[in-house]
């Protein structure tokens, strides 16, 4: 069965420090992978996606993610975190099964300390 695991429920980093959020997926076919960010009480905003091609993908707000097939991972990184990055981050895997279906990980809550 398809699944997405985000092993860290929450992470705290200092402003200006680097960030890595982990994501592992389980899917038998070629994965289509996404990272979304959600501020409290808000909808989801797409940060970046991987469908094929270059395994290092760039997104908005200075985020990037690297797809590693051998590790079934799609970790999100940012070299220098800003206080405004504090939010919930969701990794997701998508498939087309007669209708487009997305499965989300449990999420990682990012706290940024001054």
Partner 1 sequence: DTEVTQTPKHLVMGMTNKKSLKCEQHMGHRAMYWYKQKAKKPPELMFVYSYEKLSINESVPSRFSPECPNSSLLNLHLHALQPEDSALYLCASSQGRAGGVETQYFGPGTRLLVL
Is residue 25 involved in binding partner 1 (CB under 8 A)? no
Among the listed residues 41, 53, 70, 114, the single contact to partner 1 using CB under 8 A: 41
- Euclidean distance between CA atoms 63 and 21, whole angstroms: 11
In the 8-state DSSP scheme, what is residue 112?
A: E
CB under 8 Å to 108, separation ≥6 — which residues? 6, 8, 9, 10, 11, 21, 22, 88, 89
Least CB distance to partner 1 at residue 8 (A): 14
Is residue 77 involved in binding partner 1 (CB under 8 A)? no
* Contact region with partner 1 (CB under 8 A), list: 12-20, 67-75, 79-87, 90-98: 90-98
* Contact region with partner 1 (CB under 8 A), list: 17-25, 42-50, 61-69, 77-85: 42-50
- Euclidean distance between CA atoms 101 and 95, whole angstroms: 5
Least CB distance to partner 1 at residue 51 (A): 6
User: Which residue is it, tokens 């989801």?
Assistant: 44
Residue length of the chain: 114
Q: Is 61 helix (H, G, I), strand (E, B) or coil?
A: helix
Least CB distance to partner 1 at residue 99 (A): 3
Contact set with partner 1 (CB under 8 A): 32, 34, 36, 41-46, 49, 51, 90, 94-107
């Amino acid at each position: 069965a398809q699944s997405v695991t985000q092993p860290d429920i929450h992470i705290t980093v200092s402003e200006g420090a680097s960030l890595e959020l982990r994501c592992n997926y389980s899917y038998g076919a070629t994965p289509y992978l996404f990272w979304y960010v959600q501020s409290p009480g808000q909808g989801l905003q797409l940060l970046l996606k991987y469908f094929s091609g270059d395994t290092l993908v760039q997104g908005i707000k200075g985020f990037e993610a690297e797809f590693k097939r051998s590790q079934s991972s799609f970790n999100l990184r940012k070299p220098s975190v800003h206080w405004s990055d504090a939010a919930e981050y969701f990794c997701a895997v998508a498939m087309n099964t007669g209708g487009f279906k997305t499965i989300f990980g449990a999420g990682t809550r990012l706290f940024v300390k001054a």
